[in-house]
């Protein structure tokens, strides 16, 4: 039975869970079934609300307990922190999930936990909750379960049958930095469960080829998270790690979490007045380029520019470094090339490819279709823009990249980037 007392513990455990950025409910389509509660819609999932920090609320993101035996420097829940600790019982968590779900507050549950006693003990209790939800409550909505590093393969296998998505967080992209901040952990403890989950998914795929009704195993794949700005890694280190992870067949999302100074007293960590939000945003843009725009890491960051430009987005930065491929003719260029034009996204490129079958497109047509020309106009030619007559639009090659760059950075973007750079100067360590 839920009471007022539950509320205080829910508050504590939510505050402890909120630094995990993943919240998506994507990746599985599962229709409702008679005698069961819920479905999953796939696509990009459904966000049910947006908190005051602008982040979406899709799942009930909560910890089973925030007591933890580890002492990782970047984590609020480290054992040396003096914060209120709480634990929810299995029935309480199951009740809250079902009641919230039935009122259309959430898409499902995102459950993680601090490690108590040992990894197996903790994992067992996590599995007990999802087992109860799936078998007794007949819950058919979305479940995202954190896997506890070091838990036994049997528990992982059982958890995978109930969960839609599982995740293990890398947190720090380089092992030596991780060793510094979390001496009790290493990369192996993260990669091993990842590999196990992947193996499970691949075996399950094989099984389902022979037995159509074999229960699915982690159908929505895995995700992971890296903290940005807590250690000295460059964007190149981070993105190289991401692209390595995306090469794995079950890795769906890598999240980036701008470091928030939660443990200000720890000398191993930088003191940031404000989380590095611009850098985090640029990393997500680069991540999108990797996943949807056919870019390679080496094209986004290289030896000369190991960090992303904070003032301009990574695609524009790439275009300014490669003026030789422009201008692109929107009436002839293939889809991949259109995607490389700054300002054109997947939506605009698709619109153009569809519409140009009916006739040549002019810049006026593009504008009408809703293509944002602010940046794109310097990189494309279409009918009239291609004309060699005086008065034609000057492109990137006439203007030179460095002058164009100055034109395209808005004062607001420049101010935000400057502010963030100043804040990161007093980096500790």
For another protein, the binding residues (CB under 8 A) are 2-4, 6-7, 10-11, 14-15, 18-19, 31-32, 34-39, 41, 46-57, 60-62, 96, 99-100, 102-105, 258, 260, 274-275, 277, 351, 354-355, 357-359, 361, 365, 368-370
The 3-class secondary structure across 13-80, one letter per residue, is HHHHHCCCCCCCCCCCEECCCCCCECCEECCCCCCCEECCCCCEECEEEEECECCCCCCCCCCCCCCC
CB of 411 to another protein, least distance (A): 18
The answer to whether the beta carbons of residues 230 and 74 sit under 8 Å apart is yes
Name which of 143 and 320 has its Cβ closer to another protein: 143
Name which of 104 and 304 has its Cβ closer to another protein: 104
The answer to whether the beta carbons of residues 227 and 259 sit under 8 Å apart is yes
Number of alpha carbons in the 13 Å side-chain half-sphere of residue 199: 9
Cα 158–chain centre separation: 26
CB of 3 to another protein, least distance (A): 8
Handedness of CA 310, 315, 317, 318 (dihedral sign): positive
Name which of 157 and 373 has its Cβ closer to another protein: 373
CB of 38 to another protein, least distance (A): 6
Could you tell me which of 127, 129, 117 has the C-alpha nearest to residue 92?
129
Where does 58-217 show beta strands of DSSP type E? 59-63, 108-112, 142-146, 165-167
Coil, helix or strand at residue 182: coil
Name which of 18 and 131 has its Cβ closer to another protein: 18
CB of 420 to another protein, least distance (A): 13
Q: Compute CA distances 192 → 41, 103, 199, 417, whole Å.
A: 30, 38, 11, 38
The answer to whether the beta carbons of residues 168 and 146 sit under 8 Å apart is yes
Q: What are phi and psi of 235, to 5 degrees?
A: -60, -30
CB of 261 to another protein, least distance (A): 8
CB of 76 to another protein, least distance (A): 11
Name which of 44 and 244 has its Cβ closer to another protein: 44
Handedness of CA 268, 274, 279, 280 (dihedral sign): positive
Coil, helix or strand at residue 222: strand
Q: What are phi and psi of 338, to 5 degrees?
A: -60, -40
CB of 189 to another protein, least distance (A): 27
Q: Which residue has 């007990």 as its token pair?
A: 128
Q: State the CB neighbour count (10 A cutoff) for residue 290.
A: 19
Name which of 39 and 189 has its Cβ closer to another protein: 39
Name which of 355 and 409 has its Cβ closer to another protein: 355
Name which of 355 and 372 has its Cβ closer to another protein: 355
Name which of 48 and 419 has its Cβ closer to another protein: 48
CB of 280 to another protein, least distance (A): 10
CB of 1 to another protein, least distance (A): 9
User: Which spans in 141-186 are helix H?
Assistant: 153-162, 175-181
Name which of 53 and 324 has its Cβ closer to another protein: 53
CB of 13 to another protein, least distance (A): 9
């Amino acid at each position: 039975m839920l009471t007022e007392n539950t509320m205080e513990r829910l508050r504590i455990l939510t505050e402890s869970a909120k630094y995990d950025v993943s919240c998506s409910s994507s990746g599985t389509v599962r229709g409702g079934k008679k005698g069961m509660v819920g479905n999953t819609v796939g696509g990009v999932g459904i966000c049910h609300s947006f908190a005051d920090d602008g982040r979406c609320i899709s799942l009930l993101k909560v910890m089973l307990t925030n007591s933890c035996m580890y002492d990782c420097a970047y984590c609020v829940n480290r054992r040396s922190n003096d914060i209120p600790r709480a634990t929810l019982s299995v029935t309480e968590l199951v009740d809250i999930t079902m009641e919230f779900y039935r009122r259309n507050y959430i898409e499902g549950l995102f459950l993680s936990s601090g490690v108590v006693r040992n990894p197996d003990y903790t994992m067992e209790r996590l599995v007990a909750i999802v087992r109860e939800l799936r078998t007794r409550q007949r819950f058919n909505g979305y479940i995202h379960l954190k896997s506890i590093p070091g838990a036994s393969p049997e528990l992982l296998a059982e958890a995978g049958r109930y969960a839609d998505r599982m995740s293990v967080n890398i947190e720090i992209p380089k092992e030596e930095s991780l060793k510094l901040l979390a001496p009790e952990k290493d990369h192996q403890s993260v990669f091993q469960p990842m590999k196990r989950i992947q193996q499970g998914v691949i075996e399950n795929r094989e099984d389902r080829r022979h037995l159509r009704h074999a229960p699915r195993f982690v159908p929505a794949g895995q995700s992971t998270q890296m903290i940005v700005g807590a250690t000295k890694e460059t964007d190149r280190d981070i993105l190289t790690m991401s692209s390595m992870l995306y090469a794995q067949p079950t890795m769906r999302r890598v999240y980036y979490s701008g470091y928030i100074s939660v443990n200000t007293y720890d000398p191993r960590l930088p003191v940031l007045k404000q989380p590095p939000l611009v850098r985090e945003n640029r990393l997500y843009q680069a991540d999108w380029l990797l996943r949807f725009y056919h870019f390679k890491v080496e094209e986004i960051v290289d030896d000369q520019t190991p960090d992303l430009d904070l003032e301009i987005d990574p695609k524009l930065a790439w275009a300014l470094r490669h003026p030789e491929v422009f201008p692109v003719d929107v009436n002839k260029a293939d889809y991949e090339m259109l995607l490389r034009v700054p300002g054109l996204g997947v939506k605009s490129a698709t619109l153009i490819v569809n519409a140009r079958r009916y006739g040549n497109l002019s810049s006026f047509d593009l504008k009408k279709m809703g293509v944002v020309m602010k940046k794109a106009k310097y990189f494309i030619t279409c009918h009239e823009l291609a004309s060699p007559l005086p008065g034609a639009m000057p492109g990137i090659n006439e203007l030179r990249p460095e002058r164009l760059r100055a034109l395209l950075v808005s004062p607001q973007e420049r101010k935000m980037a400057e502010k963030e750079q100043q804040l990161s100067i007093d980096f500790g360590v």
